[in-house]
Structure 1
Amino acid sequence: MSEGKGRIIFFTTIPPSEEDRIQAMLRIALIASSLGYEVIIYLALHSVMIVKRSVFEKLSDNIRSMITDAVKRNVKIMACKVAMEGFNVKEGDLISGVITAEPRDLFEYARNAITVSW
C-alpha cells in the first residue's frame, strides 16, 4: 500500500452505455487519488467493455480523457478475467495501462481498504 491515506477500491459493473455514471465514478476516483489515496477501479461484468479498445474508442472524448488521466495518475484499473472471458475480451483487446485480475485478487487488494460499489 502507498504511504498515502490508504486504499480505496471502486468495484463497478457499469456498462459503457451509462457514461454519466462512468464519469461520476472516475471523477470521485481522481479526487481520491489527488488526495493521496491509492485508488483501484475493479471492472466486473459489463464494465470490462469500457476498456476494450474498440468500445473505448466510441466513448465520449471526456470519458476517454478521464480514463487516460486516471492511468497517468497511477489509478490501477483492473479488468476481471472472469468477466473478460464471459464477454470474449482478450488481454490484447484492452487499452494500455489496464491490468487483468482474478476475482480472488480483489479480496487481497480489499484487505484494509475502503470499498465503494458503483
Structure 2
Amino acid sequence: MIALDYLNPDWAAEDDMRHLILHKAQVHQVTPEEVHDYSREIVSWGPAIDQAAVVDLGKSDWLLSFAQRHLARCRHFRIMFYDEYVDVICESITAAHGAYAPGCGTQ
C-alpha cells in the first residue's frame, strides 16, 4: 500500500489535510504538467474521489504495455496535482480526511 498526503489548493484550510491510499500499486509515473502532451489524449476527469482529482482510465494502452501476469485486477489511474500528473497502475484508490497514519487504511 502506498499513501499520498495532499491539500487542495486555494480554498482548503491548512488543517484540511487529506490522503489517498493506492491499493496494491504496481507501477507509477510522474509527469510535470509542462511536458505532458495534451494533444495525445483527452481525459474526462468527471467527479472527484472525495475532492481529489483522480480519474480511472481502466485497461489503458499504458497498462496493457506491461506483462499482465500480476495485473489482472489492476486499473490505470491518473492523479492531478498542482503542477504534475501521477499515473498509477493499482487495484484501487481510496481517499480519506487527515494526514496518512499507518494503520488507517486497509491492505
TM-score in terms of structure 2 length: 0.24
More strand as a share of residues? 2
Larger radius of gyration: 2
Whichever structure has more helix as a proportion of its residues is 1
TM-score normalised by L of structure 1:
0.23
